[in-house]
Structures are given as structure tokens and as C-alpha cells.
Amino acid sequence: MRSLKELTRPNIWALKPYSSARDEYSGADASVFLDANENPYNTPNNRYPDPLQRELKSLLAPLKGVKEENIFLGNGSDEAIDLIFRAFCQPGVDNVVAIEPTYGMYKVCAEVNDVEYRPMLLDVYYQMKASALLSAIDEYTKVMFVCSPNNPTGNSMCRKEIDSLLKRFDGLVVVDEAYIDFSDLPSLLADLDKYPNLIVLQTFSKAWGNAAIRLGMAFASPEIIAIFNKIKYPYNVNRLTQEEAIKCLQQPEKVQAWVNTLLEERARVMEEIVKLPCCIRVFPTDANFFLAKVYEATQIYDYLVSEGIIVRNRTNVALCSDCLRITIGTKEENDALLEALSKIEIE
Ligand SMILES: *Cc1c(COP(=O)(O)O)cnc(C)c1O
């Protein structure tokens, strides 16, 4: 790996961060806080939240098997993705490489930050080859994005290929594990100490059932996390979000029950949908959604909309022509989908 200094934008490496009142005094002993120009009334929302979300991280760390210094929390994973560009990629100079098709935010963030985005097509099994991604790099390639389980294809990338990438690429490798809770495969978090160039992204938005609170996690070496903390907005995770996440972490068994139900439903829906005349095939998945190849995806999409059922039409995405991405809902919602699809006649 190139040194973190070589990978970081020079202005970011040299940056002295804004120091908030809560940064300068963060002890718990004081009882009179006259340092942050807060209103003394309207407890508890009158006070600025903990800028480093310490209580939340103290609950997350044991659950994830990492140290608190390995955790960055942001306004969704999307904040972490944006910070990766802002910290490491020099606009107009550096580039990033990503699998294709994949989650759309990597490309949008690259474009917002004026960073060249190099998509590398997966094979026909939606698998990636480390050698294919490595063939796209040059000295200005700072980051690679791998999403596993991948959105919109649903499958996990081959672990051997991810390991190969982490060993052979001398820049940063981001592995987006937004759907890892639905997979039987182990998270890369267990190897965080082994790979100093690894950044793992996870989120409260999917299995954790908290898309509305906007809380994403990035796990990496303490040195990388320190760079994120240096450039983030001082109070990037608000108090209501921190509180709600703490409540959520105190009942992980609830999340496991949701996951179990969704996995059962996923098996049932996939089994039923392939029997329908409109469906050509379904693709293997490790997520709470699956990709279905159908006859005339756009017509079926429009028909489902007219029935009040919204799926994601992925027909214009590379390798996904005539594919619909279908999220697993409640049993009733899934039945409504199957019922509507069963009425389609294919001549
Ligand atoms: C849904 C999703 C996310 C979640 O993003 P948040 O900003 O945390 O809601 C991240 N990555 C992928 C691949 C996703 O599909």
C-alpha cells in the first residue's frame, strides 16, 4: 500500500480541523455549560450532540467485533462515500475504479467531486475478477469500490477476488456491505486489522430497519477514521439519530427476527415468481431483494405501477436488460406482487 499520506489529498493531510466547543471540553464532570451559545431551555434538544457519538460507538464496537477507533458514523453511508472522495481524490487529477453494474452513489459522488470514474463490467455471472479491476488502474487511481452483496444484482462478490484486490492494489479498497446482514457469508470486518487499505461500509438503512434516521457506518484503520473525523461536519449525526440507534442496538434480536422472516419470504417469492409466464429467470441473491429477468420489463413495470406496486426497473443498467429489482416486503405485500404478476398474459 502507498502511505496514507501519499493517498490523501495534500490540503486534507495539512488541514487543521474546526474545533467545536464540545471538542474542547468533552468531560462529563461539569454541570454548568456556558461555552457553546446554546439556549439553556428546551432540554435535551437545546444541547449540541456528541460530535464523536461515543456512547453509540461503545455499543457498536463489541457488536461488530472492532475497536471504537475503527468506526466512523455519518449521515447515511452516503456521507462516508462522499468523504472518501473529498479526503483522497484530487479533483480533475485522480480516478477511482468500480465494479459495474453497482450502486449509483459512487458514480454520482465521483462526478460531484470531479473525479474520473472507471466502471469495470462484471462477467455474465455478475462476478468480479481482481485482475480485470487492476487492469483499469494507473498511478492516479486512489480508490476501488466493491459492493458485496452487490446492488442491483444481489449476489456476493467472490471472497478470493476481494482478498486478491486488497493484497495487489496499493490504494484503498471500499467494500460496501449494506446488505451483509442478509448474507450467510462473513463480513470483511474480521480482517480489518489485516488490511490497512480496507474500508468497510455498513448501514442502519436495510436490515436494521432505520433508513429514516440516516445513519451509516464506515470501518477502517484508526488513521483513516481520523481523516474522516477531521473533515466531517462537526455535528454530522444529530441527537435524535444517536438516541434512536442506541435503542435499536439494545434489541439486536428484533433485527435478527426481521432478517429471518425476510429470508423465508425471499425464498418463497423467488420460488413462486419463476413459475409465472412473465418471468424468465431469477438471479441468486444474498440480499433483501432479487433481480428477475422478465418479458418486457418496462411494460411490466408500468403495469405494476398502475396496480399501485412499485419495483425498480433496471432494464437500462449494464448486464440487466429486462430486469426488475424486487425488494422483499411483508407477506401481504409480496402476495399482492405475485397476484398482480400472475394476471399478465404472455402471447
Ligand atoms: C441502500 C444502500 C446503501 C445505504 O445508504 P444509506 O446512505 O446508508 O442509506 C449503501 N450502499 C448500498 C449498495 C445500498 O444499496
Which pLDDT tens digit goes with each residue over 139-193? 999 999 999 999 999 999 999 999 999 999 999 999 999 999 999 999 999 999 9
Q: Give the Å distances, CA to CA, from 32 to 27, 35, 40.
A: 12, 9, 10
Torsions phi, psi of 201, nearest 5?
A: -105, 135
Give the position, in ligand 1's atom list, of the atom nearest the Cα of 203.
8
What pLDDT is stored for residue 16 in this prediction? 87
Among 102, 105, 237, which residue has the most ligand 1 atoms within 8 Å of its CB, making it the best to mutate?
105
Q: Compute the distance from residue 73 Cα to the ligand 1 centre, in Å.
A: 14
Cell, residue 27: 468531560
Residue nearest atom 12 in ligand 1 by C-alpha distance: 178
Residue nearest atom 2 in ligand 1 by C-alpha distance: 178
Q: Compute the distance from residue 102 Cα to the ligand 1 centre, in Å.
A: 11
What pLDDT is stored for residue 283 in this prediction? 98
Q: Compute the distance from residue 143 Cα to the ligand 1 centre, in Å.
A: 18
Range 107-136 average pLDDT: 98
Could you say which DSSP state residue 48 is in? P
Cell, residue 80: 462516508
* Ligand 1 neighbours by CB, cut-off 6 Å: 76-78, 103, 147, 151, 176, 178, 203, 205-206, 211, 216
Q: Compute the distance from residue 205 Cα to the ligand 1 centre, in Å.
A: 7
Confidence of residue 290 (pLDDT cuts 50, 70, 90): very high
Among 205, 325, 328, which residue has the most ligand 1 atoms within 8 Å of its CB, making it the best to mutate?
205
Q: Give the Å distances, CA to CA, from 165 to 135, 158, 175, 185, 242.
A: 11, 11, 11, 18, 34
Q: pLDDT tens digit string along 302-312? A: 999 999 999 99
What pLDDT is stored for residue 112 in this prediction? 97
Q: Give the Å distances, CA to CA, from 81 to 160, 212, 315.
A: 24, 18, 25
Range 237-244 average pLDDT: 98
Give the position, in ligand 1's atom list, of the atom nearest the Cα of 204.
8
Model's pTM, two decimal places? 0.96
Residue nearest atom 7 in ligand 1 by C-alpha distance: 76
Among 72, 73, 75, 77, which residue has the most ligand 1 atoms within 8 Å of its CB, making it the best to mutate?
77
| Distance of alpha carbon 326 from alpha carbon 224, whole angstroms | 35
Q: Give the Å distances, CA to CA, from 187 to 6, 41, 147, 155, 175.
A: 28, 44, 12, 14, 10
Q: Shortest CA distance to 312 belongs to which of 342, 337, 331?
A: 337
